[in-house]
Amino acid sequence: MKIHIADPTGLCFGVRRAISKLEEELARSEQVYSLGSPIHNPQETERLSRMGLVVVESAEDVPDGSVSFIRAHGITPVQAEALKKKCLKVVDGTCPFVKKAQKSAKDLSSEGYIVVISGDRAHPEVRGIMGYVDGEVAVISSDGVIPDNLKGRRCGILSQTTQKVAAFAALVSSFVKICTEIKVYNTICKATLARQDSVCRLASKVDGMIILGGRNSANTKKLAEISRDVGVSTLWIEHAGEINRGWLQNKYDIGIAAGGSTPDWLIKDLIQKLNMM
């Protein structure tokens, strides 16, 4: 069996930056509070929790005078303001590309466009971006179905940073057919594009692809979808312990790709386990 690693793969710039900011703060402060999980990887969140990270659901759960952390996916301006009022210190780990998407939404909204976000309404990044819109906003999921009330209106379109390029391009093209004025910001980040491309290239050359990453990670989910779309047998796991011998049978070339929130140590664990097998 030969192992091939997608290149690039694993931690993206934004998540690596957020983790290192958080680790620096955890070395100084006994506890650091994060609104929601700071990274969409349960194993890495658990490691950081052992260092003093406390994940809470709302700003109300953050004690007065504490230190808080804003995750790479960002939060709404209202939540950021609440943290600022309560905390001694707020460490901002928001990825600069997510900040760009937030600013695009704000600009489109102030120019009077209905802000259309291509993405998953339940995802924290999308909820954060929606918070920057001061007016009408619509979220269109991967099914690409455009609500009737947007037809013929002025729409400003942007994307969740981790969306598939082809799906975003198809959505924009659908808007061209139904609106007389649209403005588009391509807010899909380069790290996402590069990881999607590397999976696509590798998946077409191997007998099986292992996609490593949190089940709550949108970008990992996209990588698994892309790999399956290529037509190769695809196994999506969170950690090396989930690999099974049955799936490996009759596969000689195995590709590995990891989501942008999968830490290096989980990738190394997986390679080690496969080598042992």
Q: Given the rule CB under 6 A, which residues bind ligand SF4? A: 12-15, 72, 95, 97-98, 161-162, 189, 191-192, 219, 260
Would you say 15 or 139 has its CB closer to ligand SF4? 15
Rounded least distance, CB 62 to ligand SF4, Å: 22
Helix, strand, coil in percent for the chain, rounding step 5: 45, 20, 35
Would you say 80 or 254 has its CB closer to ligand SF4? 80
What would the two tokens of residue 105 be? 């939404």
What would the two tokens of residue 110 be? 């102030």
Rounded least distance, CB 199 to ligand SF4, Å: 14
Would you say 62 or 189 has its CB closer to ligand SF4? 189
Would you say 41 or 192 has its CB closer to ligand SF4? 192
Q: Is 111 a catalytic residue?
A: no
Phi first, then psi: give them for residue 21, nearest 5 degrees.
Answer: -65, -40
Structure-token match 């489109």, residue found: 108
| DSSP, res 165 | H
Would you say 39 or 108 has its CB closer to ligand SF4? 39
Which candidate, 141, 185, 198, places its Cα nearest to that of 12? 198
Would you say 45 or 219 has its CB closer to ligand SF4? 219
Distance (Å, rounded) from C-alpha 211 to C-alpha 255? 8
Rounded least distance, CB 153 to ligand SF4, Å: 28
Rounded to 10 degrees, the C-alpha dihedral 31/37/39/41 comes to 110
Check: CB of residue 68 under 8 Å from CB of residue 87. Answer: yes
Rounded least distance, CB 98 to ligand SF4, Å: 5
Rounded least distance, CB 148 to ligand SF4, Å: 31
What would the two tokens of residue 38 be? 């700071």
Among residues 125, 136, 225, 238, the one annotated as catalytic is 125
Rounded least distance, CB 260 to ligand SF4, Å: 4
Residue nearest to ligand SF4 (CB): 14
Structure-token match 């998407």, residue found: 101
| Beta strand ranges found along the chain (DSSP E) | 2-5, 32-35, 53-56, 67-70, 89-92, 114-118, 137-140, 154-159, 181-184, 208-212, 233-237, 253-258
For 93, the 3-state DSSP assignment is: coil
Instruction: Supply angle C-alpha 59, 82, 41, rounded to 5.
Output: 45
Which residues form the catalytic set? 125
